[in-house]
Structure formats: structure tokens, C-alpha cells
Chain A
Amino acid sequence: MRRRSLRLRLMVTFGLGAFVLSSLFASLTYLGVRHVLVNDQQQTDRRQSFVNAALIRSTLFSSPTELPSLLNSIEKATASNVLVQTHHQWLSKSTGAATSDVSQAIIHRVLSGDTVEQTVNSNGEIIFVVGVSIPSVETQFYEVFQLSSLEHTLRILLLVLGAGALLTSLIGIGGGLWVTRRAVAPLERVSSAAALIAQGELTTRLEVGEADREVQQLTESFNAMVSQLVERLQRDARFASDVSHELRSPLTTLATTASVLVQHRDELSSIGQESLDLLVADLSIFQSLVEDLLEMARSDASATSSTVETVAVVELLNQSVRSASQRHGLPEPPIVVINAHECFIAVDRRRFERVITNLVDNAHRYANGPVAVRVEHFDGHVTINVDDAGAGVALEERDQVFERFFRGRASNDRGSFRGTGLGLSLVRDHVQGFGGTIHVLDSPEGGARFQIVIPAIEPDDQ
């Protein structure tokens, strides 16, 4: 979501920027050109009016009768309307309409001897009126110029500039798009690579190719960072695994000799016997601890050590529950199957058995054993509930129970049945490795329900 908004923001910024700049430029151009064109036109018109006024004056002096034909030729030559007032008499070709273009104010001022010019907006058309007084023959001369051709030119200019501004804005948006794509693409690559790494694909690296210097730097430092992280992860995992591994041999000797001692327990004094019992009890805890640590180190190291198989959930569950119960010589809980007989999951058998064993052990440790194991197939998922009738898990502890070395207030957590504090944490790691989830809820029997949800799969043909 955030990525999209950055892209959108950049695009809008570029588009708006281009629009504002191009509009400003277009407006200035339009105004400037308009000013120059109108000024030029008016200057030309003014000059012409003075020439015409001079012509009229000389005609009125020499041969006043030729005035109408002169006016005619002037109108023809300049495409303007000409009005002449001699001794308060209007002489014009198109007196009626044309006189209305000249306001009384202008007439008044020209009559008083001024030379007047004015731009008037008459019925939507811009006209330019020049009034010249010719006092020597008591004549006032008005020339009315239409600026419509200029208007036309300016309209076209406005249209062209507007289109230009629009085009520039579009180009701006396009440029924004391009820049964003270029700028965001490396980020996207980094983010998807990081996501892959988080999923456990530790070999993921960014491709080092032809790229901008900044991107190249980002790529290189990202790759270097990942390599270092992976190396460190592997070193840590290797260390944990080496330590546990090195513990195995002496532990084997210890356990074996302890069992030999147990065989000869009767030959020992009572002090010797008591010491031996303590030794054996703690030895088995030590053994479980090493096993759990090793398992944990392995699941930390990577997912590669797991061998995923397609297995029928009910068969595997039966087997796991049975071996988990019998290992401690405890009664087997019933397995309630709902719609899951033909249901398969993709898991590592050993790890799955470990999950069930740990949950069953946990129920024994805290609640006199599970009352039922319920498995249900629904909507592409398999739900496995290990239910007990114990005290349940307090709401605030429901996440904590999966933390490493977390211990609840155990009812049975003593002696050789003491837990390592790693069992449920391992369960969660494994279940997540299967692509599933685990939660603690309330069981129908009033105790705790450990609920595992794993995606069901279609069995491949074998």
C-alpha cells in the first residue's frame, strides 16, 4: 500500500508541476504576444487615421464634392468604417450602425479639439476607435477599426498554447511514471528479496547487473548484508548443533553405565541407591534437554534437514499418539476423526511425531494426560486438537507457553517427568515449518486445547 502511494504521489507531483509551469508559460506567452500584436495594430491604425485625416482635410479644402468617393476608397483600402462630421453634419457610408460605435464621450472630446483613441468592446467584438479633430475645416473624423482578424489569430494562439500546456502535463505524468518506475523498481526488488529471505530462502540475492551507481551500491550492500547474516546464522546454528553433538557421546556413556548401575542397585548401600536414583532421574532430563536443543538447533539452521512426505494424517496421528502414550506407559487417549480419513498433509514424519509426542507429554505433565485428540478436515485445512481436562492455560500465558524455557505452574512437573521447557517451543517451530499455526484455546472438557491447523494437500499418485 505504501509503495503504491509513493508511486501515485510522485506521478501527481510531476503532472501538477508540469501543468503549473506550462500553464504559466502559456499565459505569459499569450499575454505578451497579445500585447505586442494589439499595440502594433493600433499604431498602424492610428498612423493611418492621421494620414486619412490629412487627406480629408486637403480634399475639403480643394474639392469638397469628392469627399464621398474619397471616404469610399478609404473604407475599401483599410477595411474600417469611417465617419466624418462636418459642421455638425454626419457624412458617412454607413452612418446609422457606425455612429453607435462611437460614444458620445468621444464625440464630445473630439469636438472640443482633442485627438482621441479608445478600444471598445462592442457586442463581443473589440473595436478600436480613433477620433481626430480637423479644426481648420470644422470637421471631426472618426475611424472605427475591427480587431476581429487579430482576435482570430489570438484565439488560435490560445488554442495552441493550451494544447501545448496539456501535452506538457501529460508528458510530465509520463515522466513521473518513468522516474518512479526506475526509482521504485530496485526498492521492489529489495523488498521481494527480503521477503524471500524472511521465508527462509537464504540463498536469495539481488542480481548485480547494469544499473545506476546508487542502485548498484544498494544491491551490493544488500547482498553483503544478507551474506553476513546467513553466515552468522549458520555459525550460531552450527555451534549449537556441535555443542549438542559433542554432548551425545559422553551422555550415551553416562546413560548406559547408569543403567548398568541400576541393574546392580541391590548391591549398593541405601546411600548409594538414593544417589543412583537422583543420578538416573537427572540424567534423563539432561538427555531430553540435549535432544531438544539439538532439534532446536536443527530447525533454526534451515528447513533443508527436513524430509517432507505426503502422509495420511489419521494414520500418522494414530501412530504418534500411541508411541507418545506408551513411552511413558500411560493410557492412550481416544482419537476422534471427523471427515479426515482420506486426508493428507505434507510433513516430516519424525517432526510431526515429535509435535504430537510433546503435546501429549505436555498434557500428562500439566493435566493428567489428554482426554481426546480430535482431528477434523475442513475447507482445505486439517485441524488437530489435543484436549485435556486440566486447569487450562491463563489467557495472558497463551502466547508465552510457546517461548523457550517457559514453564507453567506444573502439577506433574517434577522428577523424571520434568520438562525441558523447550517442548512447546519446538512444537511451534515445527508446526510453522509445516506451514501451519498453533494456538491454545479452551477444551470442551474445561481444560486446555492445543489446536494445530495445517493445510491439507491432494495426495500425489504413487
Chain B
Amino acid sequence: MARILIVEDDDHIRAALRLMFEGQGFVVDEARTGEIGMELFSKVNADVAIVDIMLPGMSGFETCRALRDTSDVPIVIVSARDETADVVRGLESGADDYVIKPFAPEELLARVNAHLRRRPDKSTNAFQLGHLQVIPDEGVVRNDDGTELHLTSTEFRLLTDLASANGKIRSREDLLERVWGYDYFGDSRLVDVHIRRLRLKIEPDPAEPQFLVTVRGAGYKLVI
């Protein structure tokens, strides 16, 4: 049984979400502020978290960052703000996904389920990226001095999926489908922001990427 943490200050929306997820067999933990959410999360370790942005006190962005600091739990931001700037900021604070209110409930449900289904792809062989060793079996990226680099599960899947393409280009659409598990409601901003975040972690010079290369008009490819 999957456990979901809902951080949302609007009582009605929170209650409705609880009803919906409980109806789908989830165990729901509710929090009306980021602070309460963090406290709950440290106790119950949810499998997925839904976070609103406009929260009293600690904002949704801060909550995402705090959650991300302690866990790889998939985070879905649910917000009434749909400007690209907000979406990018949300994803950069560590969220894996961004859903805009008012959303179709089935869509939110489908996305949450997609995140729960995702498991690290262990079929790809270990490979070397410059001085980094990527080991899908163990789900780790190791520096040549033995220290481990921390990637979120979405970032890890993105990296291994691009590796499994064997140098071929993956379109944003392909990546949404393969990494996020979305058939149709993909937002290509999801891909772009995650690629950018991944570059910051693995590229020696993120402004001049040598591994994660943008192919204009087509998508991305990994140069090993």
C-alpha cells in the first residue's frame, strides 16, 4: 500500500485529495503547512509527496528543498501558478513534477501512479562519464576518488535512459514517456529543467556540456 504525503493549506482541496487517494487505496498523511509536512515525513516516510506552493510560513519551494535534502521521494508540486518562471523554480527546488490547478483529478492520479511505478533502471550496464562512474545496479554515481554523487531518482533515470540510447537522440517526448512514464500530458519544461539540474551535477562545465548534449530541434543525447 502506497503512502502519500499531501502538503496543502486549503482545507477543502486537501480533504478532497485525501478522499480521492484513499479511494484509490493510498494511505494519506495530511499537512497544512510545510513545517508540519516535514515533521510528518520524518516519521512516516511517504512514497510520494504532493506539495502546494502558496503555503503559510515555509513556502512550497522551501518544503521541496527540505524534502529533497533528506530523501529521494518523488515530489509533485500542485499549484495555481502556471507561469514558466514558477514551474522552473518549482522543479529547480527539487520537485519531479508540476501540476497546475485546477487539474483533472485523473491526471494527478495518473502522474502519482507513474512516479510510484518508476524504479531505477538496472538493466543498463555501468559506464564511465569522464571521472564519474555510473553504476545502475547499485543506483549510484561514484567519483574517481570513491565519493558518491547524489542524484535524485528522476535524475538517475534520465541519465541511465539516455545512456541506454547508445548515443542516439532522445526527443523530449520520448524522455517524458520513458523517464516520467507519461503518455500524453507531458510538459517539455520538465525535461529541460531536469537536464539542466543534471548538468550542474555531472558536467565539469555546465555551461559547455560535453556529456549531456542538446540537439537542436530534436532533443538530447548522451556522449560517452
Which A residues have a C-beta under 8 Å from some C-beta of B?
245, 248-253, 255-260, 263-264, 284, 287, 290-291, 305-307, 311-312, 314-315, 318-319, 322-323, 326-327, 341-342, 344, 348-350, 459, 462
Contacts and interface: CB of A to CB of B under 8 A. Distances in A.
A342 B217 contact: yes
B13 A253 contact: yes
A423 to B, nearest CB: 17
A307 B188 CA distance: 13
Given A326-B184, A327-B184, A249 B101 contact: yes
Contacts of A263: 20, 23-24
Q: Which 10 A-B pairs have the closest CB atoms?
A: A312-B217, A326-B184, A259-B105, A256-B16, A307-B84, A251-B102, A253-B12, A252-B102, A248-B80, A260-B19
Contacts of B173: 318-319, 322
Contacts of B82: 350
B181 interface: no
A315 B23 contact: no
Interface string B60-93: 0000000000000000000010111100000000
B83 A305 contact: yes
B216 interface: yes
Given A314-B217, A322-B173, A342-B217, A255 B102 contact: yes
A349 B189 contact: yes
Contact of A287 (B80, B85, B102, B187): B102
Contacts of A250: 12
A315 B172 contact: yes
A459 to B, nearest CB: 6
Interface string B37-77: 00000000000000000000000000000000000000000
A249 B81 CA distance: 11
Given A318-B173, A348-B84, A252 B103 contact: yes
B216 A252 contact: no
Contact of B188 (A255, A260, A319, A344): A319
20 contacts: A248-B80, A249-B12, A252-B10, A252-B101, A252-B102, A253-B16, A255-B103, A256-B16, A256-B20, A257-B19, A260-B19, A260-B23, A263-B24, A307-B85, A312-B217, A315-B172, A323-B184, A326-B183, A350-B82, A350-B187
Which residue, B13, B15, B19, B172, has most C-beta atoms of chain A within 10 A?
A: B13
A368 to B, nearest CB: 20
B47 to A, nearest CB: 20
Contacts of A287: 102, 104
A248 B12 CA distance: 12
B214 interface: yes
A130 B172 CA distance: 116
Contacts of B185: 323, 327
A349 B87 CA distance: 13
Given A312-B217, A327-B184, A248 B23 contact: no
Contact of B216 (A245, A253, A319, A462): A462
Contacts of A256: 13, 16-17, 19-20, 105
Contacts, number: 102
Interface string B168-211: 00011100000000011111110000000000000000000000
B186 A323 contact: yes
Interface string B127-160: 0000000000000000000000000000000000
A344 B217 CA distance: 8
Which residue, A314, A315, A342, has most C-beta atoms of chain B within 10 A?
A: A315
A260 B16 contact: yes
A252 B23 contact: no
Nearest to B24: A263
B219 interface: yes
Contacts of B183: 326
Contacts of B17: 256
B36 interface: no
A255 B13 CA distance: 10
Nearest to A258: B105
Contacts of B224: none
B146 to A, nearest CB: 34
A254 B20 CA distance: 12
Contacts of B15: 253
A8 to B, nearest CB: 50
A314 B173 CA distance: 13
Contacts of A319: 171-173, 186, 188
Contacts of B85: 307
A252 B16 CA distance: 9
Nearest to B209: A462
Nearest to A310: B216
A318 B184 CA distance: 12
B102 to A, nearest CB: 4
B72 to A, nearest CB: 27
B218 interface: yes
Contacts of B84: 306-307, 348-350
Contacts of A350: 82, 84, 187, 189
Given A252-B101, A315-B172, A349-B188, A257 B217 contact: no
Nearest to B14: A253
A459 B216 contact: yes
Contact of A249 (B13, B189, B214): B13
A79 to B, nearest CB: 100
Nearest to A328: B184
Contacts of A260: 16, 19-20, 23, 105
A217 to B, nearest CB: 41
B82 to A, nearest CB: 8
A291 to B, nearest CB: 8
Which residue, A251, A253, A342, has most C-beta atoms of chain B within 10 A?
A: A253
A257 B16 contact: yes
Nearest to B10: A249
A315 B219 contact: yes
Nearest to B189: A349
Nearest to B105: A259
Contacts of A348: 84
Given A256-B20, A258-B105, A290-B102, 5 more contacts: A252-B10, A259-B105, A291-B102, A342-B217, A344-B216
A284 B216 CA distance: 37
